[in-house]
Structure 1
Amino acid sequence: MNEEFEVSTAAQFKALGHPLRHRLLFALGQEAATISQLATSLGTAKGNVAHHLGVLREAGMVEVTETRQVRGGTEQYYRRTARRFSFTGEGAHQAYATALQAAAADLGTATDPRVNIRNLRLTAAQAAELATRLDEIVTGLDDAGPGEARYGVVVAVYRPES
Structure 2
Amino acid sequence: MPDQPQPCPPPQQPPPRGVVDIESPEQHAALAHPLRQRLLFSLGHEPATISQLAVRLDTAKGNVAHHLKVLRTAGLVRIAETRKVRGGTEQYYQRVADRMAVAEPRTEGTAAMLGAVAQELGRSPQTTLSLRHVRLSPDKARELAETLARLVDEAEEGEPVHGVLVALYEQVRPGEDTADATDTATRTPTGTA
Q: Which has the higher strand share?
A: 1
Aligned to 2:60: 45
Matched residue, 1:77: 92
Matched to 1:159, the amino acid is E
Q: Which amino acid aligns with 2:99?
A: R
Write the distance in 2 (CA, Å) between the matches of 1:160 and 1:109: 30
Matches of 1:43 and 1:143 in 2, distance apart?
27
Q: 1:152 is matched by which residue type in structure 2?
A: G
SS in 1 for 2:18: strand
Aligned 8 A contact 1:30 1:143 in 2: no
Q: State the Cα distance separating 1:8 from its structure 2 match.
A: 0.5
Q: Write the deviation string for residues 26-71 of structure 1: whole angstroms up to 9, x where unpaired.
A: 0011210111111111111111011000100011110111111122
Q: For residue 33 of structure 2, what is the aligned residue in structure 1?
A: 18
**Counterpart among 66, 69, 76 of residue 81 in structure 2:** 66
The DSSP-based 3-state class of the residue aligned with 1:112 is coil
| Residue aligning to 1:138 | 152
TM-score (norm 2): 0.77
- Normalising by the residue count of structure 1, what TM-score does the alignment of the two structures yield? 0.90
* Aligned-partner residue type, residue 111 of structure 2: A
**Matched residue pairs, number?**
158
What are the residue-to-residue correspondences of 1:1-162 with 2, within 5 Å?
1-89=16-104, 92-144=106-158, 148-162=159-173
Counterpart Cα distance in 2 of 1:9 and 1:134: 27
CA contact (8 A) 1:87 1:95 kept: no
Structure 1 residues 8 and 143, CA gap change in structure 2 (3 angstroms): farther
Partners of 1:140 and 1:92 in 2: how far apart? Answer: 28
Q: Could you tell me whether the CA contact under 8 Å between 1:13 and 1:95 is conserved in 2?
A: yes
CA–CA distance in 2 between the matches of 1:39 and 1:3? 27
Gaps of 5+ in 1: none
1:137, distance to aligned residue in structure 2 (A): 1.2
Query: Who wins on radius of gyration, i.e. which is larger?
Result: 2
Q: Secondary structure at the match of 2:90?
A: strand
For 1:68 and 1:19, how far apart are their aligned partners in 2?
29
